[in-house]
């Protein structure tokens, strides 16, 4: 398995390859699962200022890298990691947020993954964390299929304890939290930018490989655990 060539064009240390994700080089057995996107609503909302800042940051990074693909953003974040996030606005569908240390990337929390003290299946606007509050959140998905790259978070207490998502192969839940049995598979192509991702049990992914690829099977089971 090779890492993305464009990261090699960046200054050393600029792009950190995350230790829990697995990057596939060939677009094989791809299942893509995306939830309903709040991105379009998000971009209509009033954060032109933040978008301008992100573009300025993109230009700075672009100056240093011969090639920059939007799907390299947030390369050091992985589904299942806990982050601190600042709530920046309330929206009908949830909240906009900034992940501390990744302020140039868009991020949001859907109301369906904010705990509702009243027992509603989606948190009510008055139950959202206040604007300006900094909260613990877990990365639920990093959407890099279309620009801009976007971080979807969950603040549910159950997800903070253990994030479980359906396996793209067997459909049963797999644990993406540290120490869990799941990994995120990122599928990218030299043809152009964009990244399709899905979650899977390590064992389900490894079992799909040709038995002759014993080294790759072993690395899928070991990656991040070494
Ligand atoms: Zn599975």
Reported as a single tens digit per residue, the pLDDT across 180-199 is 999 999 999 999 999 999 99
Distance 79 CA to ligand 1 centre (A): 16
DSSP the chain: ----HHHHTSPTTTSPPPSSEEEESS--S-----PPP-HHHHHHSS-HHHHHHHHHHHHHHHHH-S---GGGTTTT--TT-EEEEEEEEEETTEEEEEETT-TTSEEEEEGGGS--TT--SS--GGGSPPTT-EEEEEEEEEEBSSSSPEEEEE--HHHHH--EEE-TTT-SEEE-STT-SEEEEEEEETTEEEEEEEEEEHHHHHHHS-TT-HHHHHHHHHTTT-
Domains of the chain (ranges, CATH numbers): 17-62+69-222 (2.40.50.140)
Q: Which stretches of the chain score pLDDT less than 70?
A: 1-47, 51, 57-67
Distance 123 CA to ligand 1 centre (A): 30
Distance 40 CA to ligand 1 centre (A): 31
Protein residues placing their CB within 5 Å of the ion ligand 1? 167, 169-170, 201, 204
Q: What is the pLDDT of residue 34?
A: 40
pTM for this entry: 0.71
């Amino acid at each position: 398995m090779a890492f993305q060539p464009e990261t090699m064009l960046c200054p050393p240390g600029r792009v950190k390859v995350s230790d829990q994700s697995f990057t596939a080089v060939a677009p094989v057995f791809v299942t893509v699962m995306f939830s309903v996107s709040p991105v379009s609503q998000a971009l209509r909302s009033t954060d032109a200022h933040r978008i301008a800042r992100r573009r300025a940051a993109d230009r700075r990074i672009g100056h240093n890298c011969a090639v920059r693909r939007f799907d390299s953003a947030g390369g050091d974040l992985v589904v299942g990691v806990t982050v601190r996030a600042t709530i920046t606005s309330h929206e009908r569908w949830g909240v906009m947020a900034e992940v501390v240390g990744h302020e140039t990337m868009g991020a949001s929390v859907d109301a369906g993954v904010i705990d509702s003290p009243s027992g509603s299946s989606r948190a009510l606007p008055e139950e959202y964390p206040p604007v300006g509050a900094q909260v613990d959140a877990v990365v639920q998905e990093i959407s890099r299929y279309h620009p801009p790259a976007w971080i979807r978070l969950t603040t549910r207490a159950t997800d903070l304890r253990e994030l479980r998502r359906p396996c793209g192969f067997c459909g049963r839940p797999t644990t993406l939290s540290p120490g869990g049995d799941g990994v995120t598979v990122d599928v990218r192509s030299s043809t152009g930018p964009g990244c399709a991702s899905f979650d899977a049990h390590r064992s389900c992914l490894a079992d799909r490989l040709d038995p002759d690829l014993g080294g790759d099977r072993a690395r899928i089971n070991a990656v991040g655990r070494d």
